[in-house]
């Protein structure tokens, strides 16, 4: 069962790269993919808002991973409810932010 204290205890590892990297070193993890939670996929959003949200979320993930690019890589989110925008967002994340 998940509790509020359990989640609160893990927030620093999820938000702060230095805490994440220390946890990785302590547990012998060399490389980690970083993504947001499904609550941040924003599939309910209209076209313009979905594109803005996907860019904002992915730019945050990219900034987090840029702190240690040899050990962290981002997994992007895309406005899949708007297929035409999803392609444009994917191009932005791969070409502009360096996602793989």
CA nearest to 43, candidates 28, 32, 54 = 54
Provide the β-strand partners of residue 72: 32
End-to-end alpha carbon distance in the chain: 34
Torsion from C-alpha of 8, 13, 16, 18, nearest 10 degrees: 140
Token representation of residue 53: 């949200």
pLDDT tens-digit profile, the chain (100 residues): 788 999 899 999 988 999 999 999 999 999 999 999 888 899 999 999 999 999 999 999 999 999 999 999 999 999 999 999 999 999 999 999 988 8
Residue with structure tokens 């860019």?
55
pTM, rounded to two decimals? 0.86
Instruction: Give backbone dihedrals phi and psi of 81, rounded to 5 degrees, phi first.
Output: -75, -10
């Amino acid at each position: 069962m998940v509790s509020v204290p359990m989640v609160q205890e893990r927030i620093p590892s999820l938000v702060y790269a230095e805490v994440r990297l220390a946890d990785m070193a302590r547990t012998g993890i060399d490389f980690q993919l970083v993504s947001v939670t499904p609550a941040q996929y924003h599939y309910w959003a209209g076209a313009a808002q979905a594109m803005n949200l996907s860019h904002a979320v992915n730019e945050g993930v990219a900034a987090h991973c840029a702190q240690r690019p040899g050990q962290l890589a981002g997994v992007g989110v895309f406005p899949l409810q708007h297929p035409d925008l999803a392609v444009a967002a994917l191009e932005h994340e791969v070409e502009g932010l360096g996602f793989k």
